[in-house]
Amino acid sequence: MAAIDSCDPDAMVAHLAPDVRVLVADGRRAEGRDEARVVMTDFLSAIRSAHHEITNFWRDDDVWIAEVNVTYELSDHHVLHELPRAFVVRHGSAGISELRVYGAQEHPLDEHLRHDEAMRIGGRPFLPL
């Protein structure tokens, strides 16, 4: 969470295994560190700051699951307060091998968003992490 809150894509990617698989709350996916860097850099381009607060977590061997509230200040200074998120992280010998982020502001299925299209709430981008 500290790497995400730093808003530094290099800090974020440093924790990932070379063959990482990523799924973020808006449905975007990445396979491998290079694709993950693209998704994370795109995510950071929309925000000025982020603060993640872990409210609960579970750990079992190589899996970490956390309930998180996140507050974002967007690049236009709009603030989104305490958005609920769930993180599922699998860790391997080379770093994070799988990262899945789920959010509670999912759009209705009949809006027909493509899997690579960012969701929007009130015309503003819905942040994936």
Domain ranges (residues) in the chain: 2-125
Cβ atoms of 73 and 79 within 8 Å: the answer is yes
Note the pLDDT of residue 4: 87
Structure confidence at residue 26 (pLDDT) = 80
pLDDT score for 128: 55
- Rounded Cα–Cα distance for residues 83 and 78 (Å): 14
Q: Give, for all 129 residues of the chain, the pLDDT tens digit.
A: 898 899 898 999 999 999 999 998 888 899 999 999 999 898 888 889 999 999 999 999 999 999 999 998 988 898 988 889 999 999 999 999 999 999 876 555 455 555 555 666 555 555 555
| CA pair distance 56, 9, nearest whole angstrom | 25
Q: Please state which CATH number belongs to domain 2-125.
A: 3.10.450.50
Is the distance from CB of 46 to CB of 79 less than 8 angstroms?
no
Residue 75: predicted pLDDT? 87
Report pTM: 0.78
- φ, ψ of residue 111 in degrees (nearest 5): -80, -10
pLDDT for the residue numbered 45: 86
> What confidence score (pLDDT) does residue 44 get?
85
Q: Any residues with CB less than 8 A from the CB of 56 and at least 6 apart, and which?
A: 66, 67
> 82 pairs with which residues across the strands?
none
Handedness of CA 53, 55, 61, 62 (dihedral sign): negative
- Hunting for tokens 């994070």 — which residue is that? 96
